[in-house]
A and B are shown apart, each in its own frame.
Chain A
Amino acid sequence: MAKVSLRSVRKSYGATKVIHGVDCEIADGEFLVVVGPSGCGKSTLLRMVAGLESITEGEIAIGERVVNALEPAERDIAMVFQNYALYPHMSVFDNMAYGLKIRRLSKDEIRRRVEEAAGILELGALLDRKPRQLSGGQRQRVAMGRAIVREPSVFLFDEPLSNLDAKLRVQMRVEIKRLQERLGITSLYVTHDQVEAMTLGHRLLVLSEGVVEQLGAPIELYEKPATRFVAGFIGSPSMNFLETKLTDDGRHVVLPGGDTLALDGAAAAANGTSPGRPVTLGIRPEHLEIVEESRASAHLTVELVEQLGADSLIHGRLGDESGPAMTVRLQGIHAPGSGESLPLLAMPAHIHLFDPESGVRV
C-alpha cells in the first residue's frame, strides 16, 4: 500500500499535447476517480501511471519511489482493463495465477491466493472455465480477481464497467466500492460516467482536454464547481446555464424579459464590486421550484415532461417560447401540459455564477 504522487505530469505525442501538467497526491488507501469526457486524456494519464505510456515531462511516484523509468511489472500495480483483457486460452484459475507463476510463488501459495480471491468474488465454482464461457459480469470479476491476487500497492481501473449493462453496472459499482474499502488499497479509477465517479470516489479529479478542472470531494464538486465545465459535467440532468449580466448594484442578475433575480449574501458580496459585468448563471434543475405566482422570479414555458417516477423532469423555455432552454426537476409526479406557463423560483443559495470568458467561478 502506498500513496501515489503526480508532479506536473505532461504528455505529448509529437507536437500534440495531451496532458497539460497534472499535479495530484493520492493518499494511502484513497479512492481517486479521474472523470472527464472521451478524449480528455484520462486514460492516457492512467496508462502513464501503469507504465504503458511514457511520461513526457514531470514525475510519477508510487510510495516514495519515482517510477518514471520502471517497467509496468516493477511498479507494484494491478490494472483492470475496459475489455477485461482476460487471456482467452487460459482457465479462470490460470488467468489469476499467471502473474503469480511469473513471480515464482510456490504452488501452494498460488492456490491459496487464487482461492481466497475467488472466495471474495464468488468465483469458486468457475475456476476451471474459460473466459468465453463466462458472462460479462463474471469476466469483470475475474479481471478484478487477477488484480487482487497480486496484492499490489495500487489498483488502476480503466473504465471497467463501461461494457456492462446498466443493472450489472450498478451492482458491480457497489462491489468495487466494497472491495476497495475492505482491502484498503490505493485506487485510481478512470471513467466518463459522472454517476460512477460521484458514488465511488473519495475524491474526484475532473479532466478536460488534458487540464485539471477541479480536484475535490464529490459533494464539493457538486456544491461548488470551480468552473463552468465541472458544473455542467457533474450532476444529472445537467445544470442550466444562462448568459446574463449583473445589475448596476451588483446584487441582482438580469433575467430575459427584464426581471431581476436577487443573489444571496455571499454571491452578492463577492460581486458587489463589479456591477454590470456579464456573467454565466448556473442553476441545477433540482434547485428550481414551482411556486405560487406571487413568489415567482420567472416563468417556464413547458415543452416536454419526463416522468421518472420519483422525479419529474420538466423541460421548457424561460419566459416565452423563444427564451433559453431550462430543465426543472420536481419531486413526485407532475404533469403540466405542453405550452403551460409555470411560475418558477430559483433558490438563491444554489445560484452559481461563472465568468463567461474563462468559465471560472466568480
Chain B
Amino acid sequence: MEKRVVFKHPVLPYLLLAPQIVITLVFFIWPAMQAMKQSLMVEDAFGLSSEFVWFDNFVVLFEDPLYLESLWITAVFSVSVAALALSGALYLAVQADRVINGALVYRTLLIWPYAIAPAVAGVLWLLLFNPTLGVLPYLMRGIGLDWNHHVNGDQAMALVVIAAAWKQLPYNFLFFLAGMQAIPRSLIEAAAIDGAGPMRRFWTVVFPLLTPTTFFLLVINVVYAFFDTFGIIHAVTSGGPAGATNILVYKVFNDGFIGLDLGGSAAQSVVLMGIVITLTVIQFRYIERKVHY
C-alpha cells in the first residue's frame, strides 16, 4: 500500500525540501567535492601554491607502510569495537528482557552512555585507566598486571576499544531489546515445551530471529568505529603510542591539520568516503533481502 500526497502548488514541495537540500549541499556535497579536488593536488611547503598531480597522492598513499599499518589498525579496531559492543549489548538485552520489576529503570540507565559526547567518554575512561591515578591500573597491579597505555600499544588499543564500545553499547542494546520483544512469546513457549533449555532456546530460536537486527547493527557499528570514534582517540591516545591507535580517520586529521599534507590527507578522505559508500550500499542492498528467514 502506497499513500501518495499530492501537492497542488508545484513549487511547495521544493520549498519544503530546500532546507535539507541546502544543508546537504553545503556540509556534505561541497566538502566532498573539495576533498576530491584536493586529493589530486600537491601544496608547496608554505601553502602558497598548489599543483595538479593526477593520482600521485593515492600512489604515494598505498606505498606508504604507515598508511597500510593504519589500515590494519583500523580493521582490528573496528572489528573489536563491533564485536564487543554487539556481544555486550546482546547479553544486556537478554538480561533486561527477563527483568520484570523495575525494567524501565534498567533500560533508562543502560541508554545513558549514548548521550555522552565521545571526547567526554574518552576522558572518563582515560581517568579510570590512568597509569598513575586510575583505579583500574591500581587493581590490576594487585594481580600482577602492569598497565601503562602510554607505552604499551596493545593496551592503548584495548583502552580505546573499550571506550568506543561502551559508548555504542546503548544503541545496540535498544535495537536488540526491541528485536527480542518483537519475538512472539509463544515461540519461546513452544520451544520450552519442545524441551529446549534457556541456552538452547536462545541459540536456536531467539538469535536466528535477531539476524536482521544483528546484521543491521554490524554495519552501523563498523561505520561508527570507522568515523565517529575520532573524539575518543583524540582524547585518549592521540593515535599513539607510536601510531598504535592511529586509525584512518585520525590519520586524516593528523596528516592534514598537524602534518599539513593537505593533498595526502584529502586522498585519505576520499578513500574513507569510498569505504563508507560501500558499507552503505551493502546495508541497503542486503538488509532488505538476504538476511530474512
Contacts and interface: CB of A to CB of B under 8 A. Distances in A.
Contacts of B196: 73, 98, 102
A346 to B, nearest CB: 47
Contacts of A89: 208-209, 211, 293
Nearest to A81: B186
Contact of A87 (B195, B200, B205): B205
A73 B189 contact: no
Secondary structure type dominating chain A contacts? loop
A82 B187 CA distance: 11
Contacts of B204: 98
B189 A52 contact: yes
Nearest to A73: B195
Contacts of A71: 192
Contacts of B189: 50, 52, 72, 79, 81, 85
Nearest to A47: B189
Chain B interface category by residue count: 10 to 19
A99 interface: yes
Interface in A73-125: 73, 77-79, 81-83, 85, 87-89, 98-99, 102-103
Interface in B278-293: 293
B293 A103 contact: no
A81 B186 CA distance: 7
Nearest to B187: A85
Nearest to B188: A85
B194 A102 contact: yes
Contacts of A102: 194-196, 200
A51 to B, nearest CB: 8
Nearest to B183: A88
Interface residues of A, number: 24
A87 B187 contact: yes
A51 B189 CA distance: 10
A3 interface: no
B186 to A, nearest CB: 4
A85 B186 contact: yes
A299 interface: no
A88 B190 CA distance: 12
A83 B293 CA distance: 18
A20 to B, nearest CB: 25
A103 to B, nearest CB: 6
Nearest to A150: B194
A130 interface: yes
B209 A50 contact: no
A79 B205 CA distance: 17
Given A88-B209, A89-B293, A102-B200, A78 B193 contact: yes
A352 to B, nearest CB: 39
A85 B184 contact: yes
A55 B293 CA distance: 36
Q: Name the residue among B189, B193, B211, B293 with the largest chain A CB count within 10 angstroms.
A: B193
Nearest to A77: B193
Interface of B: 184, 186-187, 189-196, 200, 204-205, 208-209, 211, 293
Interface of A: 50-52, 71-73, 77-79, 81-83, 85, 87-89, 98-99, 102-103, 130, 132, 146, 150
Given A72-B193, A85-B186, A88-B293, 20 more contacts: A50-B189, A52-B193, A72-B192, A73-B195, A77-B193, A79-B189, A79-B190, A83-B184, A85-B190, A87-B191, A89-B208, A98-B194, A98-B204, A99-B193, A99-B194, A99-B195, A102-B196, A146-B190, A146-B194, A150-B194
| Closest A-B pairs by Cβ, 7 of them | A99-B194, A89-B293, A73-B195, A85-B186, A85-B190, A102-B195, A81-B186
